[in-house]
């Protein structure tokens, strides 16, 4: 490997993304699930920056910035919800959250 | 006056709206007065229009607004009052207002009084549109409108299932005719690009004879439906289910003459194709004879009148068939007078008899119902062609014109008119003379009708007597063929017809009158002096039984037309509807149910499973995107 | 030089990401996630995206992860109390994740436009000065809207976190 190209970043980002997906599916602790979601978001961010550099277009990086904004808000609200859930169920197990079927 | 033409149909429409919407709340005399006055108002306006046309000799026309405009076609709400229209308008509104007046008395005990007047007004409105429209589209509009009103009024006492069926029969029979009319109008539209009478007539010169014949026949099919000619006549006798004023107004005087009007209106077209006229003549002749034969053995007073209407309409079609349009219009007018008179008279009789319509249960009514008897006598004399009555002149003119055309047709038509004379007199004598054959209650109940009912009778009786002087033949008095001259400018005759000399005409007239008189005397002898009465149904044999049962035409239609259609419908119902359509609908429902039951397990409410499905969904989406 | 750095950072990111998923203790997960974020920040720097490098460290590795830790401490989940999922579900989940990565790589292989795409050229676009200019001209409206989003998130978090009077009694 003489030079790093966008393809390498694609492979890396895909790997990270799939790890994140696997984490979301496998873990039952809601906090870890939320962390894995962050991981997926970061994988996408990485890809965006890579393509932004490749195309010499700053829009990609701006969007990464906005994704971070949304992610921060999401984490804040998501964690608040988790605290609520914990308060009611004494647990953060997502398997217990099966009220959707009613 | 031109601007006010629109008022003529508008007035009954207003009456219809007021009576139809508020009628239930209004007192009966207000409803009746309103319904009668709007029609009478139309009559006054029609009279003014008539006088103006008469003075100027020019047709009045008025375009109210453009109705629709589609792809180069333009249809206006436009009215035309020419010689033909004004004549029809006068008949419709004149007889119409008399019958409205009569209905006040006749219907005064009926629950649906306001409804009845609303329908009658709507009918007058539609009929006026039919004759006043300056294009075939408005004619068609009115044509359908009167069909609807006829349906509503025949089924006026809809609680009686038989009456409802009669209404439906009339409607369906009329639809068959309407189909012909519509096809004819489509062909006209295709050829002329417009349905305005003026433009259609102007474009006739470029119309090929075959096409003209085709259009003519199709329009005639429409006319057979509305004017009850063979083969579509069977609805008219059943239409007697309606209240008697309806029978008088719609099923004798006005609506059934729409077919005649249509053909006279299209006379320019028909004169191009004498072969079609020939067909019309033969159909009319057959109807006149056939309906007359049936009428001989009918015992229901209204049924006899109904068949005589069919028969008389046949006379008019014969006149049209020999190209004597103005003669047909003449007979139309006199027939409107005396047939309305007789229907109203029969209504008066039925009223007195407490709803009884069977003439075998009547008799001797002359003593109790003096005015009804006298006026009815006038009507009967007119229809049998008693000298100097209106029917005498009009029928005689038809016979003369037919003789010009073909002596054989003349002979058959003379036979038809003899039959007419026979059954009318039979009915008259059985009803009014001899001894009373009804129950004691009925005899006690017998009474003359109120003035609102007898006044129209008297007016119509005068008209029936004097109506003939509208058009006294030339050989009697020079220049007195008023109606003929009047209509000259609007009808186009077949060219190259010769005229009879006067002595032949005198002879024809003599033969017809003599025949009428002979039958008058002989029926008097049979039914009054010898007091024979109509035989009971089960005593009839052979041809009489056939006549009594209307030659089983209804049964024939039923087995030839109705049964096969029902069979096909049943087949379609069982195979296509139940099998294919219902089957597929049920199959879809069932499969959704089964699939839903299976997929229900997926919805376990657990977030992690939902996440898993989502990931799998994304996977398949990407597979479709990249791989497939 | 740069391929070596890239490889190093990439391996660190992947390994620590795996650790996030497989660590039994959630606190370990958080710590290894911080490592992942730092290595991703390094990759940003490699692409000369200086602004995002800084933001990544401050927002993600700083604020967000602190929030995670804070909540973990608050709920006292440091000990691994998490019950394990059934093996069957784990297999299915792993398999579907694997399928997803399969289809991603298949997509890469099939895409004919894949080639050498240069990303390491020293460019101006990732600098704070340049991005600031773009952000406050072309993307001013989204920027302002994002502040409203934050406000909403804040209000929502406060509202959810607040104990209702009824709850506090019990």
pLDDT recorded at residue B254: 85
d(CA C20, CA C17): 5
- The verdict on residue C69 lying in a domain is yes
Q: Burial code of C53-80, b = ≥16 C-beta within 10 A, e = fewer?
A: bebbbebbbeebbebbbebbeebebeee
Is the pLDDT at B144 greater than 80, yes or no?
yes
- The verdict on residue C16 lying in a domain is yes
pLDDT recorded at residue B235: 87
* pLDDT, average across residues B235-260: 86
Q: Is B391 exposed, middle or buried (0-12, 13-18, 19+ CB in 10 A)?
A: buried
Check CB contact under 8 Å for A28 and C139: no
pLDDT recorded at residue B361: 82
- Confidence at C169, pLDDT banded by 50, 70, 90: very low
d(CA B235, CA B168): 9
Is the pLDDT at C80 greater than 60, yes or no?
no
- Confidence at B523, pLDDT banded by 50, 70, 90: confident
Reported pTM: 0.66
Tokens 């009084």: give the residue.
B113
| Stretch among B280-284, B505-509, C120-124 having the lowest mean pLDDT | C120-124
Q: Provide the shortest C-alpha distance from residue A99 to chain C (in Å).
A: 19
Is the pLDDT at B255 greater than 50, yes or no?
yes
For chain C, give the mean pLDDT: 82
Nearest CA in chain C to A69: C146
Is the pLDDT at B535 greater than 70, yes or no?
no
List pLDDT tens digits, range B431-478. Answer: 888 888 877 777 777 888 888 888 889 998 998 888 888 888 777 777
Q: Which domain holds residue C10?
A: 1-79
Check CB contact under 8 Å for A25 and B611: yes
All domains in chain A, ordered by first residue: 6-92 (1.10.287.3510)
pLDDT recorded at residue B492: 79
DSSP H helices, C49-164, are: 50-55, 65-75, 87-110, 128-137, 140-161
Check CB contact under 8 Å for B626 and C107: yes
List pLDDT tens digits, range B294-341. Answer: 888 888 888 889 999 999 999 999 999 988 888 899 999 999 999 999
* pLDDT, average across residues B534-541: 65
Q: Which residues, in sequence order, are CB contacts of B5 under 8 Å at separation 6+? A: B49, B60, B61, B62, B79, B81, B132
Check CB contact under 8 Å for C96 and B625: no
What is the CATH classification number for the domain harbouring C74?
A: 1.20.120.1200
Interface probe, candidates B608, B613, B619, chain A, greatest A C-beta count within 10 A: B608
List pLDDT tens digits, range B168-212. Answer: 888 988 888 999 999 999 999 988 888 888 888 888 888 888 899
Other CB atoms within 10 A of residue B125 CB: 27
pLDDT recorded at residue C170: 45
Q: Provide the shortest C-alpha distance from residue C107 to chain B (in Å).
A: 5
| Stretch among A38-47, B587-596, C70-79, C115-124 having the lowest mean pLDDT | C115-124
Of B432, B595, B426, B423, residue with least CA distance to B526:
B426
- The verdict on residue C116 lying in a domain is no
- The verdict on residue C162 lying in a domain is no
pLDDT recorded at residue B178: 92
- The verdict on residue C36 lying in a domain is yes
Check CB contact under 8 Å for A87 and C40: no
Check CB contact under 8 Å for C103 and B608: no
Of B310, B265, B24, B22, residue with least CA distance to B130:
B265
> Higher confidence at residue C56 or residue C85?
C56
pLDDT recorded at residue B443: 77
Residue numbers in C near B612 (CB within 8 A) = 89, 92-93, 96
d(CA C127, CA B77): 78
For chain B, give the mean pLDDT: 86
List pLDDT tens digits, range B260-274. Answer: 999 999 988 888 888
Phi, psi (rounded to 5 degrees) for B133: -55, 145
Nearest CA in chain B to A29: B608
Of B612, B616, B622, the CB nearest to C107: B622
Strand residues in B71-165 grouped as ranges (E): 73-81
Check CB contact under 8 Å for A35 and C33: yes
d(CA C43, CA B611): 30
Chain C contact partners (≥3 CB pairs within 8 A): A, B
Number of domains chain C contains: 1
Are A59 and C115 a contacting pair, CB within 8 Å?
A: no
Interface probe, candidates A7, A8, A65, chain C, greatest C C-beta count within 10 A: A65
* pLDDT, average across residues B523-527: 82
- The verdict on residue C21 lying in a domain is yes
Per cent of chain B over pLDDT 90 is: 25
List pLDDT tens digits, range B20-51. Answer: 888 888 888 888 899 999 999 999 999 999 99
- Confidence at B214, pLDDT banded by 50, 70, 90: very high
- Confidence at B366, pLDDT banded by 50, 70, 90: confident
**Contact pairs from chain B to chain C, CB under 8 Å:** 30
pLDDT recorded at residue C121: 60
């Amino acid at each position: 490997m003489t030079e790093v190209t966008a393809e390498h970043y694609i492979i890396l980002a895909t790997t990270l993304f799939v790890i994140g997906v696997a984490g979301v599916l496998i873990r039952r602790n809601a906090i870890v699930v939320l962390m894995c979601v962050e991981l997926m978001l970061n994988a996408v961010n990485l890809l965006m920056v890579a393509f932004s550099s490749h195309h010499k277009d700053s829009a990609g990086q701006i969007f990464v910035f906005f994704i971070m904004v949304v992610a921060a808000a999401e984490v804040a609200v998501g964690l608040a919800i988790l605290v609520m859930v914990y308060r009611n169920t004494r647990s953060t197990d997502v398997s217990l959250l099966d009220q959707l079927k009613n | 006056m031109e601007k006010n033409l629109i008022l003529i149909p508008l007035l009954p429409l207003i009456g219809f709206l007021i009576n139809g919407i508020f009628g239930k709340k209004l007192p009966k005399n207000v409803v009746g007065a309103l319904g009668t006055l709007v029609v009478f108002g139309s009559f006054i306006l029609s009279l003014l229009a008539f006088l103006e046309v008469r003075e100027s000799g020019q047709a009045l026309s008025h375009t109210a607004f453009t109705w629709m405009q589609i792809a180069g076609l333009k249809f206006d709400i436009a009215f035309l009052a020419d010689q033909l229209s004004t004549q029809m308008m006068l008949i419709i509104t004149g007889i119409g207002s008399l019958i409205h007046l009569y209905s006040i008395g006749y219907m005064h005990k009926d629950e649906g009084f306001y409804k009845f007047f609303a329908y009658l007004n709507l009918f007058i409105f539609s009929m006026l549109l039919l004759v006043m429209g300056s294009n075939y589209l408005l004619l068609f509009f009115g044509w359908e409108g009167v069909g609807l009103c006829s349906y509503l009024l025949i089924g006026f006492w809809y609680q009686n299932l038989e009456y409802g069926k009669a209404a439906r029969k009339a409607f369906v029979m009329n639809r068959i005719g309407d189909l012909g009319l519509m096809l004819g109008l489509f062909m006209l539209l295709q050829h002329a690009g417009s349905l305005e009478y003026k433009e259609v007539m102007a474009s006739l010169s470029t119309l090929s004879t075959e096409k003209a014949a085709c259009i003519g026949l199709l329009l005639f099919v429409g006319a057979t439906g509305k004017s009850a000619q063979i083969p579509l006549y069977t609805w008219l006798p059943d239409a007697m289910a309606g209240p008697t004023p309806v029978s008088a107004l719609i099923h004798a005087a006005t609506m059934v003459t729409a077919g005649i009007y249509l053909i006279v209106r299209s006379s320019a077209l028909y004169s191009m194709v004498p072969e079609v006229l020939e067909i019309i003549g033969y159909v009319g002749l057959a109807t006149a004879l056939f309906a007359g034969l049936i009428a001989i053995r009918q015992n229901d007073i209204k049924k006899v009148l109904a068949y005589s209407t069919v028969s008389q309409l046949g006379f008019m079609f014969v006149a049209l068939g020999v190209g004597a349009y103005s003669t047909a219009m003449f007979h139309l007018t006199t027939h409107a007078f005396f047939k309305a008179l007789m229907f109203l008279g029969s209504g008066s009789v039925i009223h007195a008899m407490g709803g009884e319509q069977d003439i075998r249960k009547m008799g001797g009514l002359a003593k109790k119902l003096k005015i009804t008897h006298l006026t009815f006598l006038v009507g009967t004399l007119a229809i049998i062609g008693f000298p100097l009555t209106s029917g005498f002149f009009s029928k005689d003119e038809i016979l003369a014109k037919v003789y010009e055309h073909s002596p054989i047709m003349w002979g058959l038509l003379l036979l038809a008119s003899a039959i007419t004379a026979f059954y009318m007199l039979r009915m008259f004598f059985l009803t009014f003379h001899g001894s009373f054959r009804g129950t004691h209650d009925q005899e006690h109940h017998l009474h003359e009708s109120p003035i609102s009912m007898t006044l129209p009778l008297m007016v119509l009786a005068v008209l029936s007597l004097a109506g003939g002087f509208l058009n006294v033949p030339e050989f009697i008095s020079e220049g007195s063929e008023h109606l003929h001259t009047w209509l000259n400018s609007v009808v186009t005759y077949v060219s190259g017809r010769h005229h009879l000399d006067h002595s032949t005409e005198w002879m024809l007239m003599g033969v017809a009158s003599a025949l009428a008189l002979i039958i008058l005397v002989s029926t008097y002898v049979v039914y009054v002096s010898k007091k024979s009465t109509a035989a009971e149904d089960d005593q009839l044999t052979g041809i009489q039984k056939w006549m009594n049962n209307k030659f089983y035409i209804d049964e024939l239609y039923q087995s030839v037309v109705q049964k096969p259609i029902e069979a096909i419908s049943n087949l379609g119902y069982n195979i296509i509807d139940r099998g294919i359509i219902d089957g597929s609908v049920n199959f879809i429902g069932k499969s959704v149910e089964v699939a839903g039951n299976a997929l229900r397990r997926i919805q376990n409410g657990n977030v992690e499973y939902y996440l898993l499905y989502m990931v799998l969904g994304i996977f398949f989406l990407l597979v479709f995107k990249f791989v497939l | 030089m740069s391929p070596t750095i890239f490889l190093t950072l990439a391996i660190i990111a992947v390994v620590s990401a795996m650790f996030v998923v497989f660590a039994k203790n959630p606190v370990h997960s958080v710590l290894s996630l911080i490592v992942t974020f730092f290595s991703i920040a390094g990759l940003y720097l490699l692409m000369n995206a200086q602004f995002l490098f800084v933001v990544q460290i401050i927002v993600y590795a700083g604020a967000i992860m602190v929030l995670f830790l804070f909540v973990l401490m608050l709920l006292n989940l440091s000990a691994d109390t998490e019950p394990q999922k059934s093996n069957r579900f784990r297999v299915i989940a792993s398999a579907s994740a694997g399928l997803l990565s399969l289809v991603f790589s298949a997509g890469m292989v099939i895409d004919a436009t894949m080639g050498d795409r240069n990303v390491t050229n020293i460019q101006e676009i990732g600098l704070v000065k340049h991005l600031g200019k773009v952000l406050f001209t072309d993307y001013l409206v989204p920027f302002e809207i994002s502040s409203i989003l934050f406000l909403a998130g804040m209000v929502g978090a406060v509202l959810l976190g607040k104990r209702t009077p009824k709850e506090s009694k019990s």
